[in-house]
Amino acid sequence: MNLLRSALFNLAFYLLTAVMLVASLPFFFVLPQGFGMWVVRTWARACVFLHVTLAGVKVEVRGTENIPAAAPLSPSNISRRSRRSPSYRC
């Protein structure tokens, strides 16, 4: 039974990934970055749905009370704030 469920999940996962990639690839170059993030979020949610329904995986999120209310500083944010944009001249 587990082998069948795993095979079904793998088939659905690869089909979902291929369809979403082919369907959204032409739009990545003309639409804003928010569209790309929407595609990634939708793909991730669909993968979790496939895990739960086909593979029988239970998802549990722990530690949400430890997430700070303010936006965290990431290394990319800190480096952007601290350096000036270079001026290249040819």
Query: pLDDT for 10-68, tens place per residue?
Result: 999 999 999 999 999 888 888 888 888 999 999 999 999 999 999 888 888 788 787 77
**What is the pLDDT, as a whole number, of residue 34?**
87
User: Between 71 and 89, where is the model more confident?
Assistant: 71
Residue 89 banded pLDDT, cuts 50, 70, 90: low
Q: For the chain, what are the domain ranges?
A: 2-59
What per-residue string of b and e applies to 60-84 under the rule 16 or more CB within 10 Å gives b?
eeeeeeeeeeeeeeeeeeeeeeeee
Q: Is the pLDDT of residue 79 over 70?
A: no
**What is the pLDDT, as a whole number, of residue 45?**
94
